[in-house]
Structure 1
Amino acid sequence: MRPPNLCTVLRVLLVLLLCAERCVAVKWLALYRIKQRPWETTRNCTRSSGLAARQMKLCRDNLDLMSTVVHSAMVSMETCQQQFADRRWNCSSILRVPSLPMDLVRGTREQAYVYGISSSALVHSISRACSIGVTTKCSCGVLPNTTPTGNFKWGGCGDDLHFGLLFGEAFTDATLRNKKGKVKTSKKAMMNRHNFRVGRKVVADSLTQACKCHGVSGSCSIKTCWRALPSFDSIGALLKDRYALAVEVRRKRRKKMKVLIPIHKGRASFRDDELVYYEKSPDYCSPDSKTGSVGTRGRLCESSGWGPGNCDSMCCGRGYNNFTMEVTERCECKYIWCCYVKCKVCTKLLKLSQCR
């Protein structure tokens, strides 16, 4: 048997290195598949659940938080698909985790968004879990030590953003270290680390003031306020804005350090709340396994309007078919004393369009 030549060996090593780089990433989002399992033992803390080695240890040490981590995986995946439902790239590939299609490993702005949304969902979910007593590792957020500027007093139980940020960074960035614990310095790892950080910052910057009134007969003679996070839908929308304005970067050596810099000469750097990418996205019109595009054939579109979901844009010039669909639903519901709701059954026709 002829031994393999040097080129073949190098090619195999390159594939293995690329796989090692790809194999961590956001595979932990696959935890959404085990949402019904109890977390009373460590049997779910395995690679088959999508966890990297360091994440498995965090899992074993924080079983009381793992149901919240699972929730964050579900929230990030649902939000991503909601935000991009009317786009050619509709985030459907995220459902394939722990397998990672090429659109989530090539360094595109789509990959940047997925990393940002997964990181922010984790911080958001953990911070809120603390304030409702899910775990004894954290509780209410620290109240501001500044004097209130309005007719209220600080009190209540705010979201523990500080713990959420610490746990979120430890969990997501655990995938960006090698077996010896050293920080990975590849271009992809640097990009992913930054976009994880962007997700955390967007959550941190969204902390707002929530209040509750106290008083006789519903009056607001006394008002208590605390710091709380908004609904996650608003976080997803903010990150979608960051996606649209993502900065294309390249890697450069500066004083013995490798850094990412914008490719446009007019910009010297990028902000810590801007998503970055280094690979241009395809048009996602046709299926292409090399880019991770699944194409838009069969997608529903809007036959009128000028948004990204209109048929001319969604169908990439291939045309579309119009059809009607009969839908049955409850309607004209009335509350009957006491104590049930009575509804009629209505049938309506929906006029839909589908890409060829």
Structure 2
Amino acid sequence: MTEQVEMDHPGEGRLAHADSDHPPVVSHAKVGVVLANLGTPDATDYWSMRRYLSEFLSDKRVVDYSSWLWQPLLQGIILSKRPFSSGEAYRSIWNTEKNESPLLTTTRAQTDKMRERLKALYGDDVEVDFCMRYGNPSTRSVLNRLKERGCEKIVFFPLYPQYGGPTTATANDQAFRVLMEMKWQPYIRTVPAYFEHPAYLEALTNSIKEAYEGLETRPTKLVASYHGVPKRYLMEGDPYHCQCQKTTRLMREKLGFSKEEVDTAFQSQFGPEKWVGPQTVDHVAELAKQGHKHIAILSPAFSSDCVETLEEIQEEIYESFIEAGGETFTYIPCLNDRDDHIEALLQVVNNELAGWL
């Protein structure tokens, strides 16, 4: 039997037979859905970039060197210089109209569409929001806000198709850290990798077909460029590299392309370690030298266009290809807030909501 609740404010009240000093309780339990992305600096100035990079590069999931070795190097040499170059990269892609990064703009748009779709299915029983692992809105602020709104159960959805320790795992870590601070924790489900989900592959191949239809010259190579990781991560059991390779294969098979038409490469390498390869920036130059003058490139591991795609691919990697003799370089945007992408994410979320609504 449900305890009668006397409403003090919309959505919360006091138990009818409780003492007068009893804290407010929610009148109707809801389910929260949180879309979690990597993060974004608040601005492109030196100190904003330094705060963001310090949080990001201090994460043991991202750089797992001993703190006594890494932190003096990071806080000294690296963060004295890198905020300038990273700020310049962000300024080249910044959404000046909204004064925010494109990643923030797109993640908000994805959340708005997801909220609309879930409201049509479940009414007011579901609250939808988004958070960033680094920067704002923080995981802590969003999970606390959903709990205050009466979400006793939460589906936490890191927006990474392929599971990786430096991406999916650290997003989940942060969510669990927030729960550790709560007296009354909501139940939580974390969403698994969805790189082989049929709806995700459908959206991915749709984006490629649409891009190819608008080209005068068909590319002789399609390059799937994923964010790289040190090879050591693969050897220590991280499935990311293998899931990237499988994504490319499933995508190629669905498109009906031959093995010779599609390559897998990895970008954004830094530091002295050996990383999984080939490196995209070098690979596209080698393709041009081999006679592949017309290529297309996409980033299946990114759910939203960001500095790695808008600046690194479309500037640095593009220049590497052209300087090596390439002629046509076609960048196929991330799935962003395409309707078929939102449908794919919705199917994944609905699977995790099973039994809760």
Q: Same fold (TM over 0.5)?
A: no
| Greater RCO structure (CA 8 Å; 6+ sep) | 2
More helix by share: 2
**TM-score calculated relative to the size of structure 1:** 0.29
